[in-house]
Amino acid sequence: MYKFIISIFIASAMFSCDQAKQSDLDKLISKRDSLQIEMNELNVLIEELDTSNVKASALVSIDTLTIGKFEHYFEVQGIVEAQNNVTLVAEIPAVITKIHVKEGQEVKKGILLVTLDDEIIMNQVQELKTKLELATFIYEKQKNLREENIGSELDFEKAKNNKKSLERALETTQTQLSKTKIRAPYDGVVDEIYPRAGEMAGPQFPMIRFVSLGQVSIKVDVPESYLSKVKAGDQVEVNFPDLGISHFSTIHQRGSFIKPLNRTFVITINLPHDDNLLPNLIGVVKIKDFELENALLIRQENIMQDSEGQNYVFIVINEDGKSVARKIFVERGQSYMDHTYIVDGLSSDDRIIAEGARSVVDGETVRWNQ
Protein backbone atom coordinates (compact mmCIF):
# COMPACT_ATOMS: atom_id res chain seq x y z
CA MET A 1 0.00 0.00 0.00
CA TYR A 2 2.76 2.37 0.96
CA LYS A 3 4.67 1.74 -2.29
CA PHE A 4 1.52 2.42 -4.34
CA ILE A 5 1.04 5.87 -2.79
CA ILE A 6 4.66 6.83 -3.50
CA SER A 7 4.30 5.80 -7.15
CA ILE A 8 1.21 7.96 -7.56
CA PHE A 9 3.06 10.99 -6.08
CA ILE A 10 6.05 10.60 -8.39
CA ALA A 11 3.83 10.30 -11.43
CA SER A 12 1.96 13.50 -10.49
CA ALA A 13 5.19 15.43 -10.06
CA MET A 14 6.52 14.36 -13.45
CA PHE A 15 3.28 15.40 -15.13
CA SER A 16 3.48 18.86 -13.57
CA CYS A 17 7.10 19.38 -14.81
CA ASP A 18 6.13 18.37 -18.33
CA GLN A 19 3.33 20.93 -18.32
CA ALA A 20 5.74 23.73 -17.18
CA LYS A 21 8.30 22.91 -19.86
CA GLN A 22 5.61 22.92 -22.52
CA SER A 23 4.45 26.40 -21.41
CA ASP A 24 8.00 27.86 -21.61
CA LEU A 25 8.53 26.36 -25.03
CA ASP A 26 5.32 27.88 -26.32
CA LYS A 27 6.42 31.33 -25.10
CA LEU A 28 9.80 31.07 -26.86
CA ILE A 29 8.17 30.00 -30.09
CA SER A 30 5.79 32.92 -29.90
CA LYS A 31 8.66 35.36 -29.28
CA ARG A 32 10.61 33.91 -32.20
CA ASP A 33 7.68 34.37 -34.55
CA SER A 34 7.24 37.98 -33.39
CA LEU A 35 10.92 38.82 -33.98
CA GLN A 36 10.82 37.13 -37.37
CA ILE A 37 7.94 39.36 -38.39
CA GLU A 38 9.81 42.51 -37.24
CA MET A 39 12.95 41.43 -39.09
CA ASN A 40 10.99 40.84 -42.27
CA GLU A 41 9.49 44.34 -41.99
CA LEU A 42 12.98 45.91 -41.50
CA ASN A 43 14.36 44.02 -44.47
CA VAL A 44 11.53 45.36 -46.61
CA LEU A 45 12.27 48.92 -45.41
CA ILE A 46 16.00 48.57 -46.12
CA GLU A 47 15.28 47.22 -49.57
CA GLU A 48 12.99 50.16 -50.28
CA LEU A 49 15.69 52.64 -49.21
CA ASP A 50 18.32 50.90 -51.32
CA THR A 51 16.16 50.94 -54.41
CA SER A 52 14.93 54.50 -53.98
CA ASN A 53 18.45 56.03 -54.73
CA VAL A 54 17.90 58.50 -51.90
CA LYS A 55 21.15 59.88 -50.48
CA ALA A 56 21.52 62.41 -47.66
CA SER A 57 22.95 65.76 -48.83
CA ALA A 58 26.37 66.78 -47.43
CA LEU A 59 26.31 69.71 -45.00
CA VAL A 60 28.77 72.48 -45.99
CA SER A 61 29.39 76.18 -45.35
CA ILE A 62 29.56 78.83 -48.06
CA ASP A 63 32.05 81.68 -48.63
CA THR A 64 31.56 84.48 -51.12
CA LEU A 65 34.28 86.12 -53.19
CA THR A 66 35.11 89.78 -52.68
CA ILE A 67 36.48 92.41 -55.05
CA GLY A 68 39.00 94.77 -53.52
CA LYS A 69 42.57 95.99 -53.43
CA PHE A 70 45.19 93.28 -52.98
CA GLU A 71 48.52 94.22 -51.39
CA HIS A 72 51.55 92.01 -50.85
CA TYR A 73 54.34 92.79 -48.39
CA PHE A 74 57.70 91.29 -47.52
CA GLU A 75 59.49 91.70 -44.21
CA VAL A 76 63.16 92.24 -43.39
CA GLN A 77 64.98 92.93 -40.14
CA GLY A 78 67.02 96.03 -39.46
CA ILE A 79 69.04 97.72 -36.71
CA VAL A 80 68.19 101.06 -35.09
CA GLU A 81 70.90 103.69 -35.31
CA ALA A 82 71.02 107.06 -33.61
CA GLN A 83 71.46 109.94 -36.00
CA ASN A 84 74.41 111.02 -33.86
CA ASN A 85 76.09 108.27 -31.87
CA VAL A 86 79.73 109.07 -31.15
CA THR A 87 82.55 108.19 -28.81
CA LEU A 88 84.25 111.31 -27.50
CA VAL A 89 88.03 111.38 -27.05
CA ALA A 90 90.50 114.00 -25.85
CA GLU A 91 92.33 115.72 -28.70
CA ILE A 92 95.38 116.39 -26.56
CA PRO A 93 97.17 114.15 -24.03
CA ALA A 94 96.44 115.27 -20.50
CA VAL A 95 95.33 114.02 -17.09
CA ILE A 96 91.59 114.04 -16.39
CA THR A 97 90.93 116.57 -13.65
CA LYS A 98 87.15 116.16 -13.29
CA ILE A 99 84.21 114.39 -14.91
CA HIS A 100 81.15 116.59 -14.58
CA VAL A 101 78.40 114.18 -15.70
CA LYS A 102 77.06 110.71 -14.90
CA GLU A 103 76.01 107.82 -17.12
CA GLY A 104 72.43 108.17 -18.30
CA GLN A 105 72.39 111.93 -17.78
CA GLU A 106 70.68 114.06 -20.41
CA VAL A 107 72.59 117.21 -21.32
CA LYS A 108 72.24 120.13 -23.71
CA LYS A 109 74.65 121.10 -26.42
CA GLY A 110 77.75 122.88 -25.05
CA ILE A 111 77.46 121.54 -21.49
CA LEU A 112 80.86 120.81 -19.91
CA LEU A 113 81.44 117.06 -19.68
CA VAL A 114 85.12 116.61 -18.75
CA THR A 115 87.93 118.92 -17.63
CA LEU A 116 91.57 118.06 -18.36
CA ASP A 117 94.64 119.36 -16.58
CA ASP A 118 95.45 122.72 -18.24
CA GLU A 119 98.25 124.04 -16.01
CA ILE A 120 101.07 123.57 -18.53
CA ILE A 121 99.07 125.09 -21.39
CA MET A 122 97.99 128.03 -19.19
CA ASN A 123 101.63 128.76 -18.40
CA GLN A 124 102.44 128.64 -22.11
CA VAL A 125 99.62 131.09 -22.82
CA GLN A 126 100.84 133.53 -20.18
CA GLU A 127 104.40 133.30 -21.48
CA LEU A 128 103.27 133.93 -25.04
CA LYS A 129 101.14 136.86 -23.97
CA THR A 130 104.17 138.44 -22.26
CA LYS A 131 106.35 137.91 -25.33
CA LEU A 132 103.61 139.26 -27.57
CA GLU A 133 103.35 142.44 -25.49
CA LEU A 134 107.08 143.09 -25.95
CA ALA A 135 106.94 142.20 -29.63
CA THR A 136 103.99 144.53 -30.13
CA PHE A 137 105.84 147.36 -28.38
CA ILE A 138 108.93 146.87 -30.58
CA TYR A 139 106.77 146.64 -33.68
CA GLU A 140 105.04 149.93 -32.89
CA LYS A 141 108.39 151.64 -32.33
CA GLN A 142 109.83 150.36 -35.59
CA LYS A 143 106.68 151.37 -37.38
CA ASN A 144 106.91 154.93 -36.11
CA LEU A 145 110.58 155.11 -37.07
CA ARG A 146 109.86 153.89 -40.55
CA GLU A 147 107.12 156.46 -40.98
CA GLU A 148 109.74 159.12 -40.10
CA ASN A 149 112.31 157.46 -42.38
CA ILE A 150 114.68 156.95 -39.47
CA GLY A 151 114.70 153.21 -38.75
CA SER A 152 115.84 150.58 -41.20
CA GLU A 153 113.33 148.56 -43.24
CA LEU A 154 114.98 145.31 -42.13
CA ASP A 155 114.43 146.05 -38.43
CA PHE A 156 110.82 146.94 -39.14
CA GLU A 157 110.15 143.68 -41.05
CA LYS A 158 111.79 141.65 -38.30
CA ALA A 159 109.59 143.27 -35.65
CA LYS A 160 106.48 142.79 -37.79
CA ASN A 161 107.28 139.12 -38.46
CA ASN A 162 108.06 138.42 -34.81
CA LYS A 163 104.75 139.95 -33.72
CA LYS A 164 102.71 137.90 -36.21
CA SER A 165 104.54 134.71 -35.27
CA LEU A 166 103.78 135.20 -31.59
CA GLU A 167 100.13 136.00 -32.39
CA ARG A 168 99.81 132.74 -34.30
CA ALA A 169 101.53 130.80 -31.51
CA LEU A 170 99.21 132.35 -28.92
CA GLU A 171 96.15 131.52 -31.02
CA THR A 172 97.30 127.91 -31.40
CA THR A 173 98.02 127.57 -27.69
CA GLN A 174 94.65 129.07 -26.76
CA THR A 175 92.99 126.55 -29.09
CA GLN A 176 94.83 123.77 -27.27
CA LEU A 177 93.68 125.28 -23.99
CA SER A 178 90.06 125.12 -25.14
CA LYS A 179 90.51 121.42 -25.82
CA THR A 180 91.02 120.79 -22.12
CA LYS A 181 87.28 121.41 -21.76
CA ILE A 182 85.29 118.63 -23.46
CA ARG A 183 81.70 119.71 -24.10
CA ALA A 184 78.55 118.06 -25.45
CA PRO A 185 78.52 118.37 -29.25
CA TYR A 186 74.69 118.31 -29.33
CA ASP A 187 71.69 117.56 -27.12
CA GLY A 188 72.01 113.97 -25.99
CA VAL A 189 72.56 111.35 -23.34
CA VAL A 190 75.80 110.31 -21.68
CA ASP A 191 75.48 106.61 -22.44
CA GLU A 192 78.78 105.34 -21.05
CA ILE A 193 81.86 106.81 -19.34
CA TYR A 194 85.08 104.84 -19.75
CA PRO A 195 87.87 106.51 -17.69
CA ARG A 196 88.00 107.92 -14.16
CA ALA A 197 89.32 111.21 -12.83
CA GLY A 198 93.09 111.08 -12.49
CA GLU A 199 93.61 108.80 -15.48
CA MET A 200 95.40 109.83 -18.64
CA ALA A 201 93.34 110.96 -21.63
CA GLY A 202 94.38 111.19 -25.24
CA PRO A 203 93.28 110.64 -28.84
CA GLN A 204 93.83 106.89 -28.51
CA PHE A 205 91.66 106.51 -25.38
CA PRO A 206 87.83 106.57 -25.64
CA MET A 207 86.22 108.71 -22.97
CA ILE A 208 82.42 108.99 -23.36
CA ARG A 209 79.84 107.34 -25.57
CA PHE A 210 77.40 110.12 -26.40
CA VAL A 211 74.03 109.48 -28.07
CA SER A 212 71.80 112.17 -29.53
CA LEU A 213 68.25 112.75 -28.33
CA GLY A 214 67.09 113.63 -31.81
CA GLN A 215 65.84 111.56 -34.69
CA VAL A 216 66.84 107.93 -35.04
CA SER A 217 66.82 105.72 -38.11
CA ILE A 218 66.80 102.07 -38.99
CA LYS A 219 69.00 100.52 -41.66
CA VAL A 220 67.92 97.39 -43.48
CA ASP A 221 69.67 95.01 -45.88
CA VAL A 222 67.20 94.18 -48.67
CA PRO A 223 67.78 91.28 -51.11
CA GLU A 224 68.72 92.47 -54.59
CA SER A 225 65.67 90.67 -56.06
CA TYR A 226 63.57 93.55 -54.69
CA LEU A 227 65.74 96.28 -56.23
CA SER A 228 63.15 97.29 -58.84
CA LYS A 229 60.33 97.29 -56.27
CA VAL A 230 61.87 99.48 -53.58
CA LYS A 231 62.61 103.18 -53.95
CA ALA A 232 63.04 106.28 -51.83
CA GLY A 233 59.73 107.74 -50.68
CA ASP A 234 57.89 104.40 -50.43
CA GLN A 235 55.78 104.04 -47.30
CA VAL A 236 56.77 101.32 -44.84
CA GLU A 237 55.75 100.02 -41.44
CA VAL A 238 58.41 99.35 -38.82
CA ASN A 239 57.48 96.96 -36.01
CA PHE A 240 59.42 96.41 -32.81
CA PRO A 241 58.25 93.04 -31.44
CA ASP A 242 60.15 93.36 -28.16
CA LEU A 243 58.44 96.68 -27.42
CA GLY A 244 55.04 95.91 -28.92
CA ILE A 245 55.02 99.18 -30.89
CA SER A 246 55.19 100.17 -34.55
CA HIS A 247 55.86 103.33 -36.56
CA PHE A 248 54.84 104.30 -40.09
CA SER A 249 57.44 106.13 -42.14
CA THR A 250 58.97 106.37 -45.60
CA ILE A 251 62.22 105.16 -47.10
CA HIS A 252 64.64 108.06 -46.73
CA GLN A 253 67.45 106.65 -48.84
CA ARG A 254 68.08 103.61 -51.02
CA GLY A 255 71.65 102.46 -51.40
CA SER A 256 73.38 102.48 -54.79
CA PHE A 257 75.64 99.52 -54.10
CA ILE A 258 75.03 95.75 -53.99
CA LYS A 259 77.01 94.02 -51.27
CA PRO A 260 78.82 91.14 -52.99
CA LEU A 261 78.86 88.86 -49.95
CA ASN A 262 75.11 88.67 -49.32
CA ARG A 263 73.69 90.29 -52.51
CA THR A 264 71.77 92.99 -50.66
CA PHE A 265 71.42 96.76 -50.79
CA VAL A 266 70.80 99.12 -47.87
CA ILE A 267 67.77 101.29 -47.24
CA THR A 268 67.54 103.91 -44.50
CA ILE A 269 64.26 104.81 -42.78
CA ASN A 270 64.02 107.81 -40.48
CA LEU A 271 61.95 107.33 -37.33
CA PRO A 272 60.44 109.85 -34.91
CA HIS A 273 62.09 110.43 -31.55
CA ASP A 274 61.10 107.74 -29.07
CA ASP A 275 62.90 107.11 -25.80
CA ASN A 276 62.37 103.38 -26.30
CA LEU A 277 64.19 103.25 -29.65
CA LEU A 278 67.71 102.57 -28.47
CA PRO A 279 70.67 102.07 -30.82
CA ASN A 280 71.09 98.45 -32.02
CA LEU A 281 67.44 97.60 -31.27
CA ILE A 282 66.09 95.11 -33.82
CA GLY A 283 63.07 96.15 -35.87
CA VAL A 284 61.05 94.39 -38.56
CA VAL A 285 60.33 96.49 -41.65
CA LYS A 286 57.26 95.62 -43.72
CA ILE A 287 57.60 96.79 -47.33
CA LYS A 288 54.93 96.59 -50.04
CA ASP A 289 56.20 95.02 -53.25
CA PHE A 290 52.93 94.40 -55.14
CA GLU A 291 49.38 95.75 -55.33
CA LEU A 292 46.38 95.16 -57.57
CA GLU A 293 43.16 97.14 -57.76
CA ASN A 294 39.77 95.41 -58.17
CA ALA A 295 41.24 91.98 -57.44
CA LEU A 296 39.00 88.93 -57.01
CA LEU A 297 39.87 87.76 -53.51
CA ILE A 298 39.37 84.38 -51.89
CA ARG A 299 40.43 82.96 -48.57
CA GLN A 300 43.61 80.98 -49.09
CA GLU A 301 42.35 77.98 -47.10
CA ASN A 302 39.53 77.44 -49.60
CA ILE A 303 41.97 76.62 -52.42
CA MET A 304 43.03 72.98 -52.69
CA GLN A 305 45.56 71.19 -54.86
CA ASP A 306 45.40 67.81 -56.54
CA SER A 307 48.16 65.25 -57.01
CA GLU A 308 49.26 66.94 -60.23
CA GLY A 309 49.69 70.30 -58.53
CA GLN A 310 46.58 71.89 -60.08
CA ASN A 311 44.67 74.35 -57.92
CA TYR A 312 40.92 73.93 -57.57
CA VAL A 313 37.92 74.91 -55.46
CA PHE A 314 34.41 73.58 -55.02
CA ILE A 315 31.52 75.88 -55.83
CA VAL A 316 27.77 75.37 -55.42
CA ILE A 317 25.52 75.61 -58.48
CA ASN A 318 21.83 74.89 -59.06
CA GLU A 319 21.06 71.82 -61.16
CA ASP A 320 17.45 70.61 -61.59
CA GLY A 321 16.40 72.42 -58.46
CA LYS A 322 19.21 70.91 -56.37
CA SER A 323 22.37 72.45 -54.90
CA VAL A 324 25.30 70.56 -56.39
CA ALA A 325 29.04 70.77 -55.67
CA ARG A 326 31.22 71.35 -58.73
CA LYS A 327 35.01 71.14 -58.91
CA ILE A 328 36.50 74.20 -60.64
CA PHE A 329 40.19 74.55 -61.57
CA VAL A 330 41.56 78.06 -60.95
CA GLU A 331 44.66 80.10 -61.70
CA ARG A 332 45.79 81.80 -58.52
CA GLY A 333 47.92 84.88 -58.07
CA GLN A 334 49.98 85.91 -55.06
CA SER A 335 48.87 85.34 -51.49
CA TYR A 336 49.30 87.47 -48.41
CA MET A 337 48.09 86.72 -44.91
CA ASP A 338 44.92 84.64 -45.49
CA HIS A 339 43.88 86.02 -48.88
CA THR A 340 44.75 85.10 -52.47
CA TYR A 341 43.70 86.86 -55.64
CA ILE A 342 42.27 84.76 -58.47
CA VAL A 343 43.60 85.32 -62.00
CA ASP A 344 41.17 83.03 -63.84
CA GLY A 345 38.47 80.41 -63.23
CA LEU A 346 35.97 82.18 -60.97
CA SER A 347 33.58 85.11 -61.04
CA SER A 348 32.45 87.39 -58.24
CA ASP A 349 29.00 85.75 -57.89
CA ASP A 350 30.36 82.21 -57.36
CA ARG A 351 29.55 80.53 -54.06
CA ILE A 352 32.66 78.84 -52.66
CA ILE A 353 32.39 75.77 -50.43
CA ALA A 354 34.46 76.41 -47.31
CA GLU A 355 33.89 73.94 -44.48
CA GLY A 356 33.24 70.48 -45.85
CA ALA A 357 35.03 71.07 -49.15
CA ARG A 358 37.54 68.28 -48.54
CA SER A 359 34.82 65.69 -47.97
CA VAL A 360 32.59 66.34 -51.00
CA VAL A 361 32.96 65.05 -54.54
CA ASP A 362 32.17 66.59 -57.87
CA GLY A 363 28.42 66.41 -58.58
CA GLU A 364 27.39 65.66 -55.00
CA THR A 365 24.22 67.23 -53.65
CA VAL A 366 24.94 69.59 -50.75
CA ARG A 367 23.03 71.70 -48.26
CA TRP A 368 24.02 74.58 -46.03
CA ASN A 369 22.52 76.93 -43.51
CA GLN A 370 20.99 79.84 -45.37
What confidence tens digit (pLDDT) does each residue in 77-133 have? 999 988 778 899 999 999 999 999 999 898 999 999 999 999 999 999 999 999 999
pLDDT digits (tens, 9 = 90+) for 217-253: 999 999 999 999 999 999 999 999 999 999 999 999 9
Residues 351, 354, 355, 361, CA torsion sign: positive
58: β partners: 366
What's the chain's Rg over C-alpha atoms? 49
DSSP 20-62: HHHHHHHHHHHHHHHHHHHHHHHHHHHHHHHHTT--PPEE--E
Report pLDDT for 111. Answer: 93
> For the whole model, what pTM was predicted?
0.59
Pairwise CA distance, residues 311 & 303, whole Å: 7
Residues 268, 272, 278, 281, CA torsion sign: negative
Helix (H, G, I), strand (E, B) or coil at 186: coil
Q: What angle do CA 232, 236, 242 make, to 5 degrees?
A: 130
Round the average pLDDT of the chain to a whole number and report it: 86
With 0-12 CB in 10 A as exposed, 13-18 as middle and 19+ as buried, what is 254?
Answer: middle
Beta strands 282-299 and 339-344, pairing class: antiparallel
The CA distances from residue 194 to 92, 114, 190, in Å, are: 17, 12, 11
